[in-house]
Amino acid sequence: MSADTGLEELGVSGLGEVDEPAFSGLAERHRRELHVHCYRMLGSFDDAEDTVQETFLRAWRRRETFEGRSTFRAWLYRIATNACLDLLAKRRPEPATGGEVLWLQPYPDRLLDELPADDANEPETVTVARETIELAYLVAVQHLAPRPRAVLILRDVLGWPAKDVAELLGDSVNSVNSALQRARAGLRERLPSERQDWTGGEQDAGTRELARRFTDATVATDIPALAALLRDDVRCSMPPTPGLYVGRDAVVNDWVEDGFEGMKGLRAVLTSVNRQPAIAFYMWRKRENAYLPLTIDVLRITGGAITEIVIFHDDQFPRLGLPECLPADGTE
């Protein structure tokens, strides 16, 4: 039996001998990584939370079926993947007409920092982990059918062998390899051909400076300054509100039509979600004598320009650990 099951430290030979508190302790060690796995599958933080809870419930009920042929961690991943597939089979959401994913929710970096760092010294592993949590990747994945989606994440993100994925899905290795090819082709249709064209990468000094300029221009409601920061083919969406704007002119025209230029009394807090720079904007509310949450703008920056803006509503502020208000002087 694999040493990572944690059974040895409990002095038992099988999960059937473990009581519920001890079992919960073993499972909780893997909560964050399972949550991120379900989030990649589902695109929704809330759905991922519910699915992890379902995973732990199923695991407890089926604990006696764990035979130790795989690690306890891998066994949980199998249950979690199937729980995601079951959820998608019941109510598989379809992307909007324009291709945006209306159920998309952000994932705070402070929670991503809780992930195990076993492979922190492997540059390619770190790069894959970062790129496959970015919003552009998540949106592209949501356009895949559920089973090819699962194959892609298990093979390309988690690095599972094809035979293990086939066992999980009850398919042949050939079927898994075929599904992986289809999934990769589907991604290529949704993402630019070169990795560096769609990932913002590490938040280097240039990225941080561009995010600061975007913040300053937004607080000043300076549309010409904002337009100068956008790439020609920039994309802007605001889930769960329908509407995808593609191109600098389309994005700027939408801002003008929404009366952005006349908006006054904004403050901002810089943060990061999905390994991307993000800015939480607050608007002055005279009645409350404070700046209250407005939106969170998540930026994808490529080659010194903003290539995508995903705007989330104020209901996401608590999850991201942001202040519920800013006082009149703009300080926390």
pLDDT, greater one: 261 or 252: 252
pLDDT, greater one: 140 or 197: 140
**H helices present in the chain, as ranges:** 7-10, 20-28, 31-42, 45-61, 72-90, 109-112, 123-131, 135-142, 146-152, 162-169, 173-190, 195-198, 205-219, 223-229, 248-257
Q: Which residues have a Cβ under 8 Å from the Cβ of 35 and sit 6 or more positions away?
A: 48, 49, 52, 111
Is residue 196's pLDDT more than 60?
no
Supply the pLDDT for residue 59. 95
Q: What is the pLDDT of residues 272-299, one digit of tens each?
A: 999 999 999 999 999 999 999 999 999 9
Supply the pLDDT for residue 206. 87
Q: Is the dihedral of CA 210, 211, 215, 218 positive or negative?
A: positive
Is residue 228's pLDDT more than 50?
yes
Lowest-confidence segment of 24-28, 147-151, 153-157, 305-309 by average pLDDT: 24-28
Q: What is the pLDDT of residues 85-108, one digit of tens each?
A: 999 999 877 888 888 999 999 999
Supply the pLDDT for residue 332. 44
What is the Cα–Cα distance from 167 to 173, expressed in whole angstroms? Answer: 9
283: closest CA among 209, 221, 208, 238? 221
Supply the pLDDT for residue 121. 46
Contact 258, 243 (CB under 8 A): no
Is residue 197's pLDDT more than 90?
no
Considering the segment(s) 3-198 as one domain, its CATH architecture is Up-down Bundle (1.20)
Supply the pLDDT for residue 209. 95
pLDDT, greater one: 258 or 275: 275
pLDDT class for 120, splitting at 50, 70, 90?
A: very low
Q: What is the pLDDT of residues 50-94, one digit of tens each?
A: 999 999 999 999 988 887 778 899 999 999 999 999 999 998 778
Contact 76, 58 (CB under 8 A): no
Supply the pLDDT for residue 7. 57
Mean of pLDDT over the chain: 88
> What mean pLDDT is predicted for residues 134-163?
96
What is the Cα–Cα distance from 282 to 214, expressed in whole angstroms? Answer: 15
Supply the pLDDT for residue 193. 58
Supply the pLDDT for residue 124. 55
Residue 253: what residue type? N
pLDDT class for 211, splitting at 50, 70, 90?
A: very high
pLDDT over 70 percentage in the chain: 87
Give residue for tokens 């964050």: 32
Is residue 179's pLDDT more than 70?
yes
What is the Cα–Cα distance from 78 to 101, expressed in whole angstroms? Answer: 26
pLDDT, greater one: 71 or 332: 71
pLDDT over 90 percentage in the chain: 71
What residue ranges do the domains of the chain occupy?
A: 3-198, 205-316
> What mean pLDDT is predicted for residues 12-17?
65
Helix (H) and strand (E) counts in the chain: 15, 6
Classify domain 205-316 by CATH number: 3.10.450.50
Query: Exposure of 175 by Cβ count < 10 A (0-12 exposed, 13-18 middle, 19+ buried)?
Result: middle
Query: Exposure of 13 by Cβ count < 10 A (0-12 exposed, 13-18 middle, 19+ buried)?
Result: exposed
